[in-house]
Amino acid sequence: MRHVYRDRLVAGVALADRLTRYAGRSDTIVLGLVRGGVPMAAVVAARLRVPLDVLVVRKLGIPWAREVAFGALGPGGVQVLNDDIASRLEPDEIAEVTEREAVEQRRREQRYRADRTPLDLAGRTTILVDDGLATGATARAAVTVAYQLGAARVVLAAPVGSTDACAGLSRIVDELVCPLRPRDFGAVSRYYSDFHQVTDLEVASALAANG
């Protein structure tokens, strides 16, 4: 499988081109899922001329293959489990991963949101942006948080996703934008030439550049 996107910025342009109907709308906000979704969310927000913010959601990866999520954590104690995968783990394995990732989730929430006003999505169209949808657990937690914060409409946008994840997520959002849905999915990284781990500095720079 050849790479489809050069990097997250190019993928962000591809998403923005499919979201032009939201351009310039005062009721719309773009949220990048920390950390991988933030660089492309910044591109989307800039091209649509709408505000950018971040949503801190932490994937719960299985111990021997952390890219495969059995669930995810979000702010406010939100926890989503993928039962098909979580059922293969022992309770103590789930507890250990959850405890570790909860610490990191709180750290990132403090790091990225300490100086920002609390998210207010009441009555707004919220575009959630991530760099890929493998199991969909992280995105599912993000969607849950967005609706809990009062979003009137939730649009989930990712450049690539597995057919199973897209099928499940399409049932819980108002709109799913995912242009590439290969049947033989593999890992998100397969579809990028450059899929480096996004740093705290990159997230901070993206937020600063978008005001």
Dihedral, CA atoms, 40, 4, 191, 193, nearest 10 degrees?
-80
Distance CA 39, CA 131 (A): 9
Q: Where are the alpha helices (DSSP H) in 18-136?
A: 38-48, 83-86, 91-113
With cut-offs at 50, 70 and 90, classify the pLDDT of residue 166.
very high
Distance CA 206, CA 109 (A): 16
The mean pLDDT value of the chain amounts to 91
pTM score, whole prediction: 0.86
Amino acid 2: pLDDT: 59
Section 148-167 average pLDDT = 95
SS3 (DSSP) at 211:
coil
Distance CA 97, CA 149 (A): 26
Amino acid 146: pLDDT: 92
C-alpha neighbours within 13 Å on the C-beta side of residue 120: 4
Please state which of the ranges 22-31, 111-120, 155-164 shows the lowest mean pLDDT: 111-120
Say which residues have a Cβ less than 8 Å from residue 77's Cβ, sequence separation at least 6: none
Distance CA 124, CA 126 (A): 6
- Predicted confidence (pLDDT) at residue 40 exceeds the cutoff of 80: yes
Helix (H) or strand (E) holding 165: helix 163-170
